[in-house]
Structure 1
Amino acid sequence: MRTSKREVILDAALSVVKSHGVTAVTFDSVATASGMTKGGLLYHFPSKDAMVLALHEHQAQQWEQQLINALGRRPEDATQDERLAAYARVSVQSVTGPELLLMLEASSDETLNRPWQEVIGRWSPDPTSIDPADPAALQKMIIYLAADGLWLNNSIGATPMPRKLREALAEHLARSVDALVTGATDADLP
């Protein structure tokens, strides 16, 4: 399948983020990285802000596609517990440096944060709906937070973890969701 010019531009913008950080994303830097003219970029994005927002949306969509692949169906066709288990399974993939930079940038900008929050909202427990007196609900939040920790582990300079261990931990988190639903104990987990 042929890659669209828009995707070429967004991939080039991501490479700029990887090499020089988010603030280095300009029409000039992305034109150089993509091999296109600034006019070609302007055809697809009327402003730098529109291009940066599209980059956030593109990365959030790619993350959601990983989650859908792990689940095996669209999120609206699954229970919250099934979505959480898929979220845990995807945590075996480390966040890339550019993704982390984009997410950090988005955390202080409501517009840029929206695409990320939409994905998170579909896949993770809603903290405002958690009853602090419900042990199962608390355990699901712990699983969600542990999955995030596993996802971030390699990206923040922590000691690298062997791939097999990462996979085993992610699968354990996913099975822990299933165990909460079925009432199994940790001893029942394979």
Structure 2
Amino acid sequence: MRLEDTEYTGRPWRLHEVAADFEVEDVWQMPTPGGPDDLDRLVRSFALGDGSVVSGGVVGLLFAARWRLGAIFGWDAPGTGVGTRVPSLRERLPDDLAAGPRGPDPSSLPFTSVFQTHDEWVAELANGTVHALLHLGWVPDDAGVYRAQMTALVRPNGWGGRVYMAFIAPFRRLVVYPRMFRAIDRRWQASTGA
């Protein structure tokens, strides 16, 4: 379920300390009910999944189209990524986050982990269109059940990046995220025995 931006901006995430120049693009509640110590299990499942969500069906076609357009327009060319076009967010981390665990790098998406705490995980990617952050936060509801909240944050690369983000918004919100969350829900339910 899509949430208001304030569900991210109103919480005391450590990411706020180092990413104030990023714009909140999307905030979603994920179908992952659990306890206070389950974020690490979710991050590992999310990052080290089999990639079937992004490799098959309609989502797979959308990703294939994106990679093809990226090749044509040079969006993913050497020199457009983290450490080349933009410095890694890791360079901004305070000492305690820099010395702490990074978490796993996603195997089926071109993100690199930045940091992981007990209730928060951040990964980043950059290309010719954006510098993007993927934030998973672990939040309790009023009944004491915890769930993941996924936030996408971006720094568009000029007007072209803004046009690109506006163009892909309906695809992300209507196709990619709902299918991705259904797959996460199935994996989560199977791993909890529910």
Query: What TM-score range do you get, normalising by the shorter chain?
Result: under 0.3
- Larger gyration radius, structure 1 or structure 2: 1
Which one scores higher on RCO, CA 8 angstroms, separation ≥ 6?
2
Structure in which a larger fraction of residues adopt helix: 1
